[in-house]
Structure 1
Amino acid sequence: MITRGSQWHRWDPHIHGPGTLLNDQFGGGDPWEAYLKAVEGCAPRIEALGVTDYYTTNTYEAVRLRREQGRLSDVKLLFPNIELRLDVAAKTGFVNLHLLVSPDDPDHVNEIKRFLSRLHFGAHSDRYDCTEADLIRLGKAADASIKDDRKALAHGATQFRVSFDGLRSAFKESAWARDNILIAVAGAKGDGTSGLQQAADKTIRQEIEKFSHIIFAGSPSQREFWLGLKDVTADQLQDRYGGCKPCLNGCDAHDLASIGRPAEDRYTWVKGALTFDALRQACIDPHGRAWVGSEPPKGAMPSQAVSQVRIIDASWITTSDIPLNAGLVAIIGARGSGKTALADMVAAGCNAISSSAWNADENISPSFLVRARPLVGNARVALSWGGGDTSVSRLDGRDADDLAYPRARYLSQQFVEELCSSKGASEGLVREIERVVFEAHTQDGQEGAYSFEELREQRTLRYQQARRLEGESIVAISDRIATELENEALVETLTTQVAAKDKLIKGYIADQSKLAIKKGTEAQVQRHTALAETASSLTAKVNAFGAQRRTFVAMQDEVKNTRNAKSPEMLRDVMSRHHGSGLDAKQWDDFLLVYKGNVDSALTGYIAWADKEIAKINGTVPAPGDPKVPLIPLDADLKQSTIALLRAEMTRLELSISADKAVQNQYAALSKKISTEKAALQTLKTRLENAKGAFERRKVLQRERDEAYGRLFAAVIKEQEALIELYAPLMRRLDAMSGTLKRLSVKVRRVADIAGWATEGEEELIDRRKAGSFYGIGALQKVVRAELQPAWETGSAQDIEGAMSAFVAAHYKELLAHAPYAPTEQEAFRHWLKRFAQWLFSTDHIAVQYEIVYDGVDIRKLSPGTRGIVLLLLYLALDDADDRPLIIDQPEENLDPKSVFDELVNLFVVAKAKRQVIMVTHNANLVINTDADQIIVANTSPAADGGLPTFSYIAGGLEDAGIRKVVCDILEGGEKAFTERARRLRVKLLR
């Protein structure tokens, strides 16, 4: 036994034939040839045929005889459909009921006649049984003019009404009927239960429909109702009608033109073997096994389903060819029977076994092929795909290709264990969820990205760049603030230095005044002093111009560096971050940062200007002249003189001030010192004024830094919002689901590493041994958790900016007091102050994290078993974009039976409608309650001489009694699972 199991076939359960008792329009003479050709010529072809007649099996017997003679070769299942009319009036007649009879019993014709004889009709003061003889008798009694038995039989059929209560009692009392008959009631308004519209008919309608196994109806609305998808739920159907029911539709042909042609091409499709048991299975699983439409439901794409497995050059496989169903394939068997071996071989043929699995230790690997690698030799697996192509792979893995895209997804035991381990939960499982998140986006929503990582980068890059740039701005501002803090600290020192310098100058002046000078030279002394002050003032100007000149020269160097290195590197950085722009090299040249103006010419001009001004002020030393003749007229504006001329005039005056050469030298030396010290004093005063302005400048810089800090967190919040939007398609799907899937969610949040940030500050920047608010280990962390963490993790950008400003205002001085260096250690303190500011306003400890949570718990913290549920939810319910075969080895591992039934069964049912699922399992619920389309049973014979065991396989569908028996024998609880499924229906599946 090796079949592909349950597949869709066209059934027509309701076709009349020549000689049907009522409304026979098939023509006179011998219409059988035309009738048989009409059935044989139907497209789509009819493979299961219910031959219908009223109250008798005559037409069925006639068709069966002709089929035995070689006709209707496509019809693999022929069964009688006996149409009855109940004694319940419908809109345009009486409610029609159909007895669909299993032909499996060789004596089924006699048995159904015996059952029909139990149905009675009272009329004309007599009782008439539902037999051919009594129907003839009733026809003649109703119309005495009828003498022909055939006409009397037909007329009797128009008069006979079956008591619903009588039929129900007869069915209940007959074990044969319960085992071999399925009841179908017409659902139409004319002669069906939909015609029972009056309130008084509500109860009888519900009783008839509850008694029936099948509804004869072709409309989509009827099907949706009877599946619990419209107006009532499946639970309500269970309470009122005994459960969901399949809707079947036949052509109800009474003439040749109607054969196999139901209205609107509403053909009946039943999934299963062409046996009556397939119809019983459709009663148990009406949603998955019965369909009315122009074609059967679509399942896996043919090109994405394995249709045949062939094992080549493997003497240890006795079943070398195994057909596979495109739906749910369940591989069962005793332990060591070759279940995982078959799954491994299919996975190997799909290139779905990872390199890590192939490279695992042969002694401990759970993979059959890895363990058996030394013994498989040249064995190969050839897979035929539904699309027509074939793939061949070696079973020892030597031709496995990591670069090739696997044609199936294989959830081997090793793979699941790796993903559900503590390490895997933070790596593989998260990556798989991210992949599903990515594929949940529409093609437009993926924005041309090829992976979750790329899409995430595209969505967040803008904000990450803004965060980086604002961070760099904060560092630069912090450096300037540190400089201003140094300046503030210099005010007191500079004030002292100015006072000392001023005192020194006054002392020099006093010393100079005490020198012995010629009488009558007081005017020359005053003139000398004036000249010295002017020269000092002009020297200060020269120094200023000199500083400007040095700046211009440095700017020339910076311009050169920017052109040659900085600007090209910035462009390369931009190009690397925006590689998706599509710009060519010439277009990128437009983005090279250049100076707006001609800075080279400008800087050269500025330097020349400074040189000119310096030369102009310095002047040239005049040629020696008459020492008694002034070089500068007394009435001249000294400020218009050059330094060289002033100093020459000062030298001339020094010679006339004293006759003593030594005094002259002393006077000249003091004059020079006074001039030098005054210049130094001026520099000190300038620095002091600059230092005094540092406080206000620092306040401005701090405001700018606070604003930059707020903008930085605005970018962080935007990044958080972008990630939330990234997960939105998945979240919308999860919100619409129920059960365990409802417990799976995604959280995107900001996380502050308070411990890491505070520890860095305490260990590297703050001397926690000093007395104060931040004394001891953990003091800083405690304050930060209370004052900054809430804003960092949940606040708006404005909240964060305000919180940091308040923190700085409250604790900055105390934090500075915990500095490991005294302010007097200027170099060390300055370096520390910059590092401290960079740390304080850093944001490296702030991260935007996304968590996949199950019942509010991060999957990284779940038990392996619960992570296993999440993994299966992922592949079965959420991975819509992946239409490749899904191969799973023992999905029930680590799951309790209730979880299997409550969570996995329905997910497998949904998944098999979209993709091929191949499952190795020991769980009866996963085989029976999923209504597996194909059961492959593995068997083994012991190995000989250290070789491999010999594996063999049989396969079929659950509608096959032999397969059902094996399921019950092998799987614990199998018979109970069957019983529970069939409990609500009066069908017997186990015989």
Structure 2
Amino acid sequence: MIGRGSEWCRWEPHIHAPGTVLNNQFGGKSPWDDYLIGIEMLTPKIEALAVTDYYLTETYEKVLEFKRAGRLPDVQLIFPNVEIRLDVAAKRGFVNAHLLVCPDDPDHLEQLQRILQRLQFQAHDDTYNCTRADLITLGKRADNKIIDDHAALRHGATQFKVNFDQLRRVLRESEWAKTNILVAVAAGSGDGTSGIHQAADATVRQEIERFAHIIFSSNPGQREYWSGQRSVTQDDLKERYNGCKPCLHGSDAHDHKTVGQPTDERYSWIKGGLEFDALRQACIDPEGRAYVGSEPPRSAMPSQVISHLSISNADWMANPEIQLNPGLVAIIGARGSGKTALADMIAAACDAIPAEAWNTHGAISPSFLARANKLMGEATATLTWGGGTSVTRFLDGRDANDHLSFPRARYLSQQFVEELCSSNGVSDSLIAEIERVIYDTHPHEDREGAIDFEELREYRTSRFKHSREREVEAILELSDRIATEIEKEASVATLKAQVAQKVGLLENYSKDRAKLVVKGSEVQAARHTEVVTAVQAKQTAIQQFTNQRRAFVSLQDEVKSTRSSRAPELLRQAKERYQVSNLSVEQWEEFLLIYKGDVDKSLSHYITWADGQINAMTGPPLPPPATGVQQIAYFPADADLTALTLNLLTAEMNRLETVIGADKVVRAQYTALTQRITQESAALETLKKRLTDAEGSNARRKDLQTEREEAYGRVFQAIESEQDALLDLYAPLLARLAQSSGTLKKLGFTVRRIVNVNAWGAVAEESLLDRRKAGPFQGRGALIEVAERMLRTAWETGSAADVQAAMAVFIETHQRDLLRHAPYGSDQQAELRGWLKQFAHWLFDTDHITVRYEIIYDGTDIRKLSPGTRGIVLLLLYLALDEADDRPLIIDQPEENLDPKSVFEELVGLFINAKSKRQVIMVTHNANLVINTDADQIIVADAGPHSTGGLPLIAYKAGGLENASIRKAVCDILEGGEQAFRERARRLRVRLDR
């Protein structure tokens, strides 16, 4: 027995037939033949028929005779619908109730007559039972002019009213009735409960509707109301009416024209096998099992549904042809019965088993095909899809995973689930699967050409990461410059002392030199001083031009290097970062960094100009003076010394030195002192310039520190922008989660900064600070404690301005103390200089701050969840969120790591929702996942004894929960199965243990 289980079939729950007691308009020469042809020609075809008549079953019995004679071939189920009128007034007449009777019992008509006989009507000082004879008698007593029995029967039926309390008591007191009769009431305003308008009768209406199992109505508003989607909730319906109720609609045909033709094609559809129990199941799950409309509800796309599995060349398969339901298929069986074998075979034919699973041989593998690989031989599996295509694969995997194969199903094998939900920690695969679903939630036009989540995330965040990198680099450069300014600032006192020392030294040298001047040569000495001063000024000016020239030459080298190396490399980096721009080679050439002007020409001109200045100020070399002409000056006394060349001034200076001293020794001393004075004067000028520069370092340092603080703030602006980009990346899924409820509501995503204060502080404590020195940061962990208190909150959650302010307060409060812990003294300038740079780099470093997105479930990061809860997240992912994937979902034992409460509370709803969108095939031994999900098809696996060197004979049978033998198998195989059935049906007076 391999049936597809529960499928949507058209039922006709309310149709009269020729000879119906009241309002019989079936005319013509052959009313029965016309009636039967009308049903046989209907589209969509009727497969379950409830023959309706007032109080009697004769027309039902007549239809059965025609069925036995070969008529109504498409109608697989025929059962009686006994229509009775209650003694409760409606808008037009009285409220009608319908007794829908299960025909499975061979004696069901006899039993039904026994029930009907107990319904009595008091009139004319007599009591009348609901039988044909008593209805005729009542008709004649009510109108003594009626003689014909048929006319009396019709009139008696209009008079006979059933007391509601009596009906309720009769049905409740009969075990057979509780097992075999379902009660339906009309909801219309004419002869239905909506017609009860008197306020005093509101309780009566509620009691009637509470007692009924089924509501006869095609009104969409009624259907929404009775499924708990309108003004009352499902809990309200459970409290007031014993739960939700299916709404069904029939043609209520009393003539040939309306046979099977309800208004607006509002046909009744029941999901289940063509047996009365399918109607019982619809009472238990109205929303999932009953529908009124021109077509049944759609689920998975036919092309994405496996309709048939055929196994060939496998003598171990007792029934190699297996039909599959398009909804939820549950495979059950004892341990070793072949449950996983069937899932594996389906997955293999879908190319859904990864290569590594095929290679995992041996008894330890959870895969049937991996364990039995060497026994497969030439066995193949052929899948036929709902769209008509078919595919065949060998069961030993020889043709699996070729370069053209694509998984046509998602297979969550035990091995796959265990790897993703291992207690050893969350694997990259789980994160990758979640990211894939996030990626799929983005419309194609919003994916920016990215092929996966990682690439899309990079596209969305790279701009801000690069911005952060640029600002970090700027901070490093600024810190180096600030360190230099701090060093200069610290040198002011030293430079002042050195300047004063040089001034004193020059004064002493000048005094010493004055003592060497021979009497009578004072004028020459004074002139010598003037010339020396002019020489020093000229040398300084020439040195400036020499420095300029050297800079121009170095700049030439940098220009060449930039052109040949740096600019092309920057262009290459830009091309790499912005590949998606799809710019051509010619377009990219526009982005090659080039100099605005003709810098080669300009630099050559600058060098030539500097050479000209140097040559002009130096002047042509002079020949040595002739003997005896030292007394002749090289230029007039009133000459402008600043306009003379260096060579001319130097020659005059040397000449004057020869006339000042009286002898060679004195002249040599004078010349040496003059050179020393010249050298020291130049050194003094350099010191004065350095002092002036150092005295300005304070202002420059403050400006640089402001720039650095602003750059530090921009780092966090980039971090905030990266966070916003990530949140935007998750926005489609976050929006869906925000509108969801139940289990789905527990899943969420957060983007936050992760701050490792310990790592940041440890760098300083271990590498930068001398904690042996006395001070507030002497002990281990003291700096980290301060950072935790002053910086962590701003780093983690603050805006860029908040972080800037927090760091400014930290520096103002603790910088002096931190510097006191420097490992070098002021006398170790070189070491201290390097340390200051390292210190600044550490202080403004942000490597300890990362942006991380987290997937959370019930407020906890999935990395910290138990394996069982991770399993819930995994199933939540595939069952509820993976809307872009409409392929069949095959799951092997989803409840493996979950407790029974989690299965019921977390998974049942997910499976119910998922089966309306895609085909779901699961292997399970959990009763709740079979019964409370209302599985559409149950496949029961059974394996015979193992044969030596071979496989045991595996047999399967299948059907829906409405099938008694399938329900028995569920109760026998699954622990708690019977209790699950009773729990599911406890709110109804429906017996399911038949």
Q: TM-score, normalised by structure 1?
A: 0.97
Q: 51-60 vs 272-281, which deviates more?
A: 51-60
Q: Name the SS of the counterpart of 1:127 in structure 2.
A: strand
- Displacement of 1:857 in angstroms is 2.5
Q: Verify the 8 A CA contact 1:354 1:402 in the aligned structure 2.
A: no
- Displacement of 1:442 in angstroms is 4.0
Tell me the equivalent position of 2:692: 689
Q: CA RMSD in A?
A: 2.0
Tell me the equivalent position of 1:255: 255
Q: Verify the 8 A CA contact 1:313 1:378 in the aligned structure 2.
A: yes
Q: For 2:733 and 2:616, how far apart are their aligned partners in 1?
A: 78
Q: For 1:514 and 1:402, how far apart are their aligned partners in 2?
A: 105
Tell me the equivalent position of 1:135: 135
What one-letter code is carried by the residue in structure 1 that aligns with 2:107?
Answer: D
Tell me the equivalent position of 2:871: 868
Match 2:659 to one of 637, 646, 656: 656
Tell me the equivalent position of 1:218: 218
Is structure 2 residue 834 aligned with structure 1 residue 839?
Answer: no
Post-superposition CA distance 1:866-920 (Å, at most 9, x none): 2222222222222222222221211222222222222221221111111111111
Q: Verify the 8 A CA contact 2:361 2:373 in the aligned structure 1.
A: no
Q: Verify the 8 A CA contact 2:419 2:427 in the aligned structure 1.
A: no
Tell me the equivalent position of 1:907: 910
Tell me the equivalent position of 1:947: 950
Tell me the equivalent position of 1:376: 376
What one-letter code is carried by the residue in structure 1 that aligns with 2:883?
Answer: D
Q: For 1:357 and 1:756, how far apart are their aligned partners in 2?
A: 42
Tell me the equivalent position of 2:40: 40
Q: 145-154 vs 567-576, which deviates more?
A: 145-154
Q: Verify the 8 A CA contact 1:622 1:645 in the aligned structure 2.
A: yes
Q: Verify the 8 A CA contact 1:539 1:679 in the aligned structure 2.
A: no
Is structure 2 residue 600 aligned with structure 1 residue 600?
Answer: yes
Q: Verify the 8 A CA contact 1:188 1:217 in the aligned structure 2.
A: yes
Match 1:975 to one of 964, 975, 978: 978
Post-superposition CA distance 1:728-776 (Å, at most 9, x none): 3333333333334333332322121111111122222222233222223
Post-superposition CA distance 1:922-969 (Å, at most 9, x none): 111111111110101111112212322221111111111111111111
- Displacement of 1:445 in angstroms is 4.7
Q: Name the SS of the counterpart of 2:941 in structure 1.
A: strand
Q: For 2:447 and 2:133, how far apart are their aligned partners in 1?
A: 75
Q: For 1:170 and 1:46, how far apart are their aligned partners in 2?
A: 32
- Displacement of 1:659 in angstroms is 4.8
Q: Pairwise mapping of residues 256-271 of structure 1 onto structure 2 (< 5 A)?
A: 256-271=256-271
- Displacement of 1:532 in angstroms is 0.8
Q: Pairwise mapping of residues 348-427 of structure 1 onto structure 2 (< 5 A)?
A: 348-360=348-360, 362-401=362-401, 404-425=405-426, 427=428
Q: For 2:198 and 2:446, how far apart are their aligned partners in 1?
A: 53
What one-letter code is carried by the residue in structure 2 that aligns with 1:873?
Answer: L
Q: For 1:666 and 1:399, how far apart are their aligned partners in 2?
A: 104
Post-superposition CA distance 1:366-392 (Å, at most 9, x none): 222222223223322222221222232
Q: Pairwise mapping of residues 276-675 of structure 1 onto structure 2 (< 5 A)?
A: 276-360=276-360, 362-401=362-401, 404-425=405-426, 427-515=428-516, 517=518, 519-623=519-623, 624=625, 626-675=629-678
- Displacement of 1:269 in angstroms is 0.5
Q: For 2:487 and 2:406, how far apart are their aligned partners in 1?
A: 63
Q: For 1:168 and 1:570, how far apart are their aligned partners in 2?
A: 89
Is structure 2 residue 72 aligned with structure 1 residue 72?
Answer: yes
- Displacement of 1:459 in angstroms is 2.5
Q: 738-747 vs 374-383, which deviates more?
A: 738-747
Tell me the equivalent position of 1:171: 171
What one-letter code is carried by the residue in structure 2 that aligns with 1:524?
Answer: Q
Q: 735-744 vs 812-821, which deviates more?
A: 735-744
Post-superposition CA distance 1:164-199 (Å, at most 9, x none): 222222212322222222111111111111111221
Is structure 2 residue 822 aligned with structure 1 residue 851?
Answer: no
What one-letter code is carried by the residue in structure 1 that aligns with 2:502?
Answer: K
Tell me the equivalent position of 1:27: 27
Q: For 1:125 and 1:363, how far apart are their aligned partners in 2?
A: 83
Q: For 1:179 and 1:799, how far apart are their aligned partners in 2?
A: 73
- Displacement of 1:448 in angstroms is 4.2
Q: Name the SS of the counterpart of 2:71 in structure 1.
A: coil
Tell me the equivalent position of 1:721: 724
What one-letter code is carried by the residue in structure 2 that aligns with 1:237?
Answer: L
What one-letter code is carried by the residue in structure 2 that aligns with 1:745?
Answer: G
Q: 468-477 vs 101-110, which deviates more?
A: 101-110
- Displacement of 1:466 in angstroms is 1.6
What one-letter code is carried by the residue in structure 2 that aligns with 1:6?
Answer: S
Q: For 1:413 and 1:772, how far apart are their aligned partners in 2?
A: 60
Q: For 1:563 and 1:363, how far apart are their aligned partners in 2?
A: 66
- Displacement of 1:353 in angstroms is 2.3
Q: Name the SS of the counterpart of 2:491 in structure 1.
A: helix
What one-letter code is carried by the residue in structure 2 that aligns with 1:774?
Answer: F
What one-letter code is carried by the residue in structure 1 that aligns with 2:457?
Answer: R
Q: Verify the 8 A CA contact 2:517 2:525 in the aligned structure 1.
A: no
Relative distance call for 1:448 and 1:121 in structure 2 (3 A) is: farther
Q: For 1:540 and 1:264, how far apart are their aligned partners in 2?
A: 107
Tell me the equivalent position of 2:770: 767
Q: For 2:845 and 2:358, how far apart are their aligned partners in 1?
A: 46
Q: For 1:247 and 1:705, how far apart are their aligned partners in 2?
A: 73
What one-letter code is carried by the residue in structure 2 that aligns with 1:252?
Answer: D
Q: TM-score, normalised by structure 2?
A: 0.96
Is structure 2 residue 711 aligned with structure 1 residue 708?
Answer: yes
What one-letter code is carried by the residue in structure 2 that aligns with 1:479?
Answer: D
Tell me the equivalent position of 2:199: 199
What one-letter code is carried by the residue in structure 1 that aligns with 2:700?
Answer: R
Q: Verify the 8 A CA contact 1:355 1:402 in the aligned structure 2.
A: no
Post-superposition CA distance 1:439-493 (Å, at most 9, x none): 3344455444332222322322222122111111101101111111222233233
Post-superposition CA distance 1:309-355 (Å, at most 9, x none): 22222222222121111111111111111111111222222222233
What one-letter code is carried by the residue in structure 2 that aligns with 1:688?
Answer: L
Q: Pairwise mapping of residues 777-816 of structure 1 onto structure 2 (< 5 A)?
A: 777-816=780-819
Q: For 2:430 and 2:400, how far apart are their aligned partners in 1?
A: 23
What one-letter code is carried by the residue in structure 1 that aligns with 2:827?
Answer: T
Q: Verify the 8 A CA contact 2:92 2:191 in the aligned structure 1.
A: yes
Match 2:744 to one of 741, 745, 762: 741
Q: 271-280 vs 369-378, which deviates more?
A: 369-378
Q: For 2:965 and 2:89, how far apart are their aligned partners in 1?
A: 44
Q: For 1:111 and 1:784, how far apart are their aligned partners in 2?
A: 86
Is structure 2 residue 962 aligned with structure 1 residue 985?
Answer: no
Post-superposition CA distance 1:139-170 (Å, at most 9, x none): 23333333332222222222222222222222
Tell me the equivalent position of 2:919: 916
Q: Name the SS of the counterpart of 1:223 in structure 2.
A: helix
Unaligned runs of 5+ in 2: none
Q: For 2:423 and 2:811, how far apart are their aligned partners in 1?
A: 41
Q: For 1:490 and 1:359, how far apart are their aligned partners in 2?
A: 73
Q: For 2:594 and 2:23, how far apart are their aligned partners in 1?
A: 96
Q: Verify the 8 A CA contact 1:350 1:406 in the aligned structure 2.
A: yes
Runs (4+) of structure 1 exceeding 6 A deviation are none
Q: For 2:226 and 2:844, how far apart are their aligned partners in 1?
A: 66
Q: 451-460 vs 788-797, which deviates more?
A: 451-460
What one-letter code is carried by the residue in structure 2 that aligns with 1:280?
Answer: R
Q: For 2:611 and 2:596, how far apart are their aligned partners in 1?
A: 26
- Displacement of 1:287 in angstroms is 1.2
- Displacement of 1:124 in angstroms is 2.8
Q: For 1:171 and 1:768, how far apart are their aligned partners in 2?
A: 91
Q: For 1:402 and 1:494, how far apart are their aligned partners in 2?
A: 79
Q: Name the SS of the counterpart of 2:372 in structure 1.
A: helix
Q: For 2:991 and 2:814, how far apart are their aligned partners in 1?
A: 82
Q: Verify the 8 A CA contact 1:426 1:860 in the aligned structure 2.
A: no
Q: Name the SS of the counterpart of 1:485 in structure 2.
A: helix
